[in-house]
Structure 1
């Protein structure tokens, strides 16, 4: 069972003790990502994530890595559209080292000019690598296209033009605005002593002050119907077909997840079985929902030989039409619900996935559902609620398409 403690400065600690494991995962979640950026500083959230590993006033970049390597642990971070997370996974006996290293990175990073210049080159290389990975690029192009003009559509990595402008002052100004106690959650899952954990968090974080009022409100993102084809000399064509989805925290999400499992969420799904297994037209095909504050997407991805592109689009539309006209079967729904329950319960056995789940939920929604509550929400999914999602999401007038590859004809 998870518990929550709020420090006097507004910082939230959420934790779940799992006494039968020997690991502990710690995450510092900050409510900022590419959606908080402007056209002038796009990419700065991700850049700061990189910079926190470049050394502090008492540890070099090598020392940061060695501290965790030496105890057989893991340390890493990721940036999303609405949050950034720095995390460790170590043996339960090394919780104090994990918190010490994370707090040192968080509060004492040097942001030396030389390090900033080196990291600019690293991130620009990362952008180049992304451009050379069309199966990932096509998803970014899709979100930029449908949320054109809104920060939700900005690429998380940023642009080379923006990155070249970054300096120490820009970094500190951005952190001063968004890296605040009220905008941060520390999430811990695994085996630990509860009293010692709270003492440890207080020791490192209670003196973190913030003297301004803080409100992290996003401008609403309007979904725009569009189509973009990016010509690229690749062996495969990469395709995204998508619709407006539902927002983060919407109670109907579990109905959409069940629908996703039936349509394209796994190897037994309709799209995979019909287009890949039966016809052999694609190597990969799947669907997924993305949820954000006030907005969401439902996307179908496929990778195929260019000559099969139009056939795959037509067959995918046929599958969608079939689900719109005839719905799903009771048997499909029962299997999808069992699949959701199984995936969720198996995820509970990992301290890192528990840390992720409670940390992100507290940060983005201000509340955490218990495992029993999640399972009840899945159980409540029925034929009517899935039918409602079919009608709400699968509207061909609001379908957008992005494609990357060797495409000669219109799609």
Structure 2
């Protein structure tokens, strides 16, 4: 079972003891990401994530890299729309090193101006690499167009202009606002002594001053039905179709996950079997839900020969219409439940995955569901629940399309669906 401890400075620690293991995973979660940024400082969350690895008052960048390598551990970080995470995975005997390094990076990073300028070039190269990947790029085009009225549509990496404008003052101002204990969760899963763990976190993080952080300025994102086409010299045309999804805290996310397994989330799904296996229209086609703090999106991706794209779109829409008209079979429902539960249970074997799940859930939603609660919720989902979800997601009114490739698509074809 998970246990939550609230420290005197409002820092929340959520932990799960697994004493039969020899490993422990630690995550420091900041409840802010790219959607907390402005057009001017877009990319600052991701920039900070990079900069804390560039040296502290106590360790050089190389020493930070060697510290975990020398004990067989790992340290990494990532930035999302709603949060930023710094995490380690080590032997249980080295948890003190892990927590010390994480605290050192967060509180003592130098943010040297020379390193800032160097990192700008690294991130600009990362943006170029991202733009060279058509699958990633078309997903971003869809996200940007659907959430174009607010920061949820901002690129996590930032734009070339915003990254070039980032300086030391912008980095420190953002950290002063968002890197505070009220907006942070520390999640720990693995083999540890609870008292020693809390004493260690108190020692390294206890001086952090609370600031009564609030998120009142985050506006409710508005889903926009929109078509966007970007010309790019690619052999295949890449396509994303986006629909509404559920917020992370909404229990219906599990119904959407089950629906996704049936629609396009696996090799046995309808889209894979119909569009790829039977029709041979694509090599790659899949779907996935994405949940944020207060909204969500459901995406279908496909890559096809430019001459076949209209047929692919028609085929996808036909499968959706068939599902809405004729429903799903009891076999599909059972298989989807077993698939979702099996994937979930397999993920519990990893301390890193468990740490990530509870940390992300707590920092974004404010609560954590136990494994038994999740499995029970999946079991209790009915045929009617999934069909209600399908009718809400595929309502015919909230739908966006993004296309990337060298051959434009007929607007008449797109207008038929939007």
Conserved? CA contact 2:182–2:212, under 8 Å: no
- Report deviation, 1:386: 0.5
Larger deviation: 396-405 or 164-173? 396-405
For 1:22-41, what aligned pairs fall within 5 Å after superposition? 22-41=22-41
- Report deviation, 1:219: 0.8
For 1:173-184, what aligned pairs fall within 5 Å after superposition? 173-184=173-184
- Any idea what SS the aligned residue of 1:396 has? coil
Aligned residue for 2:236?
Answer: 236
Aligned residue for 1:216?
Answer: 215
Distance in 2 between residues matched to 1:24 and 1:214, nearest whole Å: 29
Aligned residue for 1:352?
Answer: 352
Aligned residue for 1:322?
Answer: 322
Distance in 1 between residues matched to 2:409 and 2:148, nearest whole Å: 25
Distance in 1 between residues matched to 2:307 and 2:254, nearest whole Å: 36
- Any idea what SS the aligned residue of 1:238 has? strand
Aligned residue for 2:15?
Answer: 15
- Report deviation, 1:350: 0.3
Aligned residue for 2:381?
Answer: 381
Aligned residue for 2:95?
Answer: 95
Conserved? CA contact 2:310–2:409, under 8 Å: no
Aligned residue for 1:398?
Answer: 398
- Any idea what SS the aligned residue of 1:72 has? coil
Conserved? CA contact 2:229–2:408, under 8 Å: no
- Any idea what SS the aligned residue of 2:291 has? strand
Aligned residue for 2:147?
Answer: 147
Gaps of 5+ in 1: none
- Any idea what SS the aligned residue of 2:299 has? strand
Deviations 1:261-301 (A, max 9, x none): 00001111000111112222212111111111221111100
- In the alignment, structure 1 residue 256 sits paired with structure 2 residue 256: yes
Aligned residue for 2:59?
Answer: 59
- Report deviation, 1:161: 0.5
Distance in 2 between residues matched to 1:385 and 1:370, nearest whole Å: 22
- Report deviation, 1:27: 0.4
- Any idea what SS the aligned residue of 2:284 has? strand
Conserved? CA contact 2:41–2:163, under 8 Å: yes
Deviations 1:329-381 (A, max 9, x none): 11111111111110111101100000001101111111111111011110111
- Any idea what SS the aligned residue of 1:76 has? strand
For 1:189-204, what aligned pairs fall within 5 Å after superposition? 189-204=189-204
| TM-score, normalising length: structure 1 | 0.98
- Report deviation, 1:395: 1.9
Distance in 1 between residues matched to 2:399 and 2:215, nearest whole Å: 30
Distance in 2 between residues matched to 1:304 and 1:141, nearest whole Å: 18
Deviations 1:194-239 (A, max 9, x none): 12111111110111113x3310232110111100011100111111
- Any idea what SS the aligned residue of 2:241 has? strand
Distance in 1 between residues matched to 2:158 and 2:308, nearest whole Å: 33
For 1:261-300, what aligned pairs fall within 5 Å after superposition? 261-300=261-300
- Report deviation, 1:19: 1.5
- Any idea what SS the aligned residue of 1:255 has? helix
Distance in 2 between residues matched to 1:57 and 1:397, nearest whole Å: 54
Deviations 1:43-62 (A, max 9, x none): 00000000010100111111
- Report deviation, 1:73: 0.9
| TM-score, normalising length: structure 2 | 0.97
Distance in 2 between residues matched to 1:407 and 1:110, nearest whole Å: 48
- Report deviation, 1:409: 3.5
Give runs of ≥4 in structure 1 deviating > 4 Å.
none
- Report deviation, 1:167: 0.9
Gaps of 5+ in 2: none
Distance in 2 between residues matched to 1:18 and 1:274, nearest whole Å: 44
- Report deviation, 1:398: 2.0
Aligned residue for 1:42?
Answer: 42
Q: How many residue pairs were aligned?
A: 410
Distance in 1 between residues matched to 2:146 and 2:302, nearest whole Å: 18
